[in-house]
Amino acid sequence: TFATVAANFHATEAPKVSFPGVEIDLAKVVHGSQEVTVHQPIPASGSGRTTTRIAEVWDKGKAAVIVQESVTVDAEGNPQWTARSSIFARGEGGFGGERGPSESITLPDREADETVVTPVLPQQALLYRMCGDRNPLHSDPQFASAAGFPAPILHGLCTYGMVCKTAVDTMLDGDSSRVAGFRARFAGVVFPGENLSIQIWKDNGRLLISASVLEREAPALADVVLTLV
């Protein structure tokens, strides 16, 4: 999942949701979904170029969903990975656009093949912000309170990465080269210091995953699919 942060890894300032003609209050923005498709194994070092575009904008009534797509190629121009993310901007809907697609994954009606509890460190959000996401929602109690949360929340992408790593370690013996893609919808907030309960099902060349907060029995990620090579 390094592919999701590679382009912004050098960032030291809080992100801005700013496009031509569009200015969105960062406190009203939450991460909706994330998907990465790997076209070839990601090397430990190297160089490349990322091109990002706004792929879709959907009108959900009280909110807008903005889909961003980033395509990364290596130094020779060969596709390395494609990352797609959506943000949910509260109060920015109602502009008369299409609602967009709505797809969900049905989990198998049987016991999970594996259930793993993964702890979230109390300082996890402060560590993860070093990957380039300096949104104060994850570090500033006053900012988090203004956004309606009792405390700073964990980055959705941190939860995303932790769940992916848990699945790879548990089901693939830690071999990330067997991952062709990973996608998830952010279904709820996670607070540093909590524990993630992760259920994993084998399903015809892919892994279906459910992730929730153990202490609150609250959803964290939904519609999670890890596609195998």
155 classed as catalytic: no
pLDDT number for residue 5: 84
**pTM of model > 0.85:** yes
Q: Which of 31, 138, 155, 223 is catalytic?
A: 138
DSSP assignment string, 17-41:
EEETTEEE-GGGEEEEEEEEEESSP
Contact 58, 67 (CB under 8 A): yes
DSSP codes, 82-119: EEEEEEEEET---SS--------PPPPSS--SEEEEEE
CATH of domain 2-228: 3.10.129.10
The answer to whether 37 touches 180, Cβ cutoff 8 Å, is yes
Residue in 31, 133, 155, 223 annotated catalytic: 133
pLDDT at residue 24 tops 70: yes
Rounded-to-integer distance, Cα 168 and Cα 207, Å = 10
Which pLDDT band holds residue 184 (cuts at 50, 70, 90)? very high
Q: Two tokens at 27?
A: 């406190």
Percentage of residues in the chain having pLDDT higher than 70: 92
At residue 2 the predicted structure's pLDDT band, cuts being 50, 70 and 90, is: confident
Query: How confident is the prediction for the chain on average, in pLDDT?
Result: 91
pLDDT band at 4 (very low <50, low <70, confident <90, very high): confident
Q: Are 206 and 227 in contact (CB under 8 A)?
A: yes
223 is catalytic: no
pLDDT-derived band at 22, boundaries 50, 70, 90: low
In this prediction, residue 147 carries a pLDDT of 86
Per-residue pLDDT tens digits for 53-64: 999 999 999 889
- Model confidence at 16: pLDDT above 70: no
Q: What is the pLDDT of residues 83-139, one digit of tens each?
A: 999 988 888 889 899 998 888 999 999 999 999 999 999 999 999 998 888 889 999
- Greatest mean pLDDT among 22-36, 61-75, 87-101, 156-170: 156-170
Strands 179-186 and 29-38: antiparallel
pLDDT of residue 35 exceeding 70: yes
Residue 130 has what pLDDT? 87
Q: Is 202 left (phi over 0), alpha (psi -120 to 50) or beta?
A: beta
